[in-house]
Amino acid sequence: MKQIIQKIVIKSIGLYINLLSYVLPDKSFAIAYKLFSEPRKGKIKNHKIPKTLQKAIHETHILNEHQFLTYTWQGNDDVILLVHGWESNASRWKKLLVYLKKTGKTIIAIDGPAHGMSNGKEFNVPIYSEFIDKVVQKYNPKIAIGHSIGGNAIAYFQAHYKHNFEKIILLGAPSDFKVILNNYINMLSLNDFIHQSFINYTKKRFNLTIDELSASKFLKDSTISGLIAHDIDDNVVLFEEGEKISNSWKNAKFIETKGLGHSMHDENLYQTIVEFVNTK
């Protein structure tokens, strides 16, 4: 019953946006974009900081109008960067941290735009990659690990900035922005005007077509050593998305898991990640 009500609400919102597009087209797209780009969860209130992050060194970074946080668990001079996904925050790495700390390396986790204790309301991959670049310039991480859209942000960063990671690990990461957008359009049953408005907006703002916003294209023929893990039961980012990246990125090993869903929390997988991190 709850799912039926939720579906009715979602379709009703889509219908409202569609009807509005005929009389106030700019406003209708603004509403559609806000719903698409503004996370509804993943924020951390100052008085409710997860214990995992309480034990880290907090640092605030300023980038234009953005203010974002990183959390550091100090180790040796080798740095691992952790990049979370949509409607999440740096605390999502709690279980993996137990294993990564055994490597002796310094670990830095980032709160993405409008997530965790970072400010703002809008989230998108190009802005996230700017956050990554800011951290990279200061700490020069050799290894990057991204979950979900965080993995896509790492791929975008790798294609648009000069820094080269030595190793990249992607967990449940989507490949194509077009798939994400189409899923959103279909979920709300939005009309062709709204769909085309997203296409035009993406091109105008980021100078990229929706077809070009693709992790498989960003990492195509990359010589960076990679590890891709995707679960066949992932109902958030379909398994085929991981396969797309793997088929394009020949220097990456692809791991198929089952029963982990989108979260990708698993002791055996974490041990595999540590082995990959420690491989010379």
Model confidence pLDDT, tens digit, residues 134-174 = 999 999 999 999 999 999 999 999 999 988 899 999 999 99
Residue 18 pLDDT more than 80?
yes
pLDDT given for residue 42 in this prediction: 94
Q: Is the dihedral of CA 121, 49, 69, 105 positive or negative?
A: negative
Predicted confidence at residue 130, as pLDDT, reads 97
Q: What is the pLDDT of residue 231?
A: 98
Residue 26 lies in a domain: no
On whether residue 82 sits in a domain, the answer given is yes
Instruction: Report whether 113 contacts 68 (CB < 8 A).
Output: yes
In a domain, 207, yes or no: no
Q: How many domains does the chain have?
A: 1
Q: Specify whether the backbone of 264 is left (phi greater than 0), alpha (psi in -120 to 50) or beta.
A: left
In Å, what is the CA distance from 27 to each residue of 120, 191, 199, 204? 20, 14, 16, 18
Question: What residue has token string 């209130």?
Answer: 45
Question: Is the confidence at residue 268, as pLDDT, over 80?
Answer: yes
- Residue 96: count other Cβ atoms within 10 Å of its Cβ: 24
Q: What is the mean pLDDT of the chain?
A: 95
Q: In whole angstroms, what is the distance from residue 89 CA to residue 49 CA?
A: 11
pLDDT at 162: 80
252 in a structural domain: yes
The alpha carbons of the chain give a radius of gyration, in whole angstroms, of 19
Residue 126 lies in a domain: yes
Q: Which residue segment(s) compose the domain that 231 sits in?
A: 50-176+214-278
pLDDT at 227: 98
The predicted model scores a pTM of: 0.95
Q: How many CB atoms lie within 10 A of CB 124?
A: 21
pLDDT of residue 221: 84
- What do you get for the CA distance between the two ends of the chain, in Å? 53
> Is 192 contained in some domain?
no
For residue 241, what pLDDT band results from cuts at 50, 70 and 90?
Answer: very high
The answer to whether position 188 is within a domain reads: no
The CATH code of the domain that includes 117 is 3.40.50.1820
Determine, yes or no, domain membership for 43.
no
pLDDT the model gives residue 103: 97
Contact present, 108 and 82 (Cβ < 8 Å): yes
pLDDT digit string, tens, across residues 58-100? 999 999 999 999 999 999 999 999 999 999 999 999 999 999 9
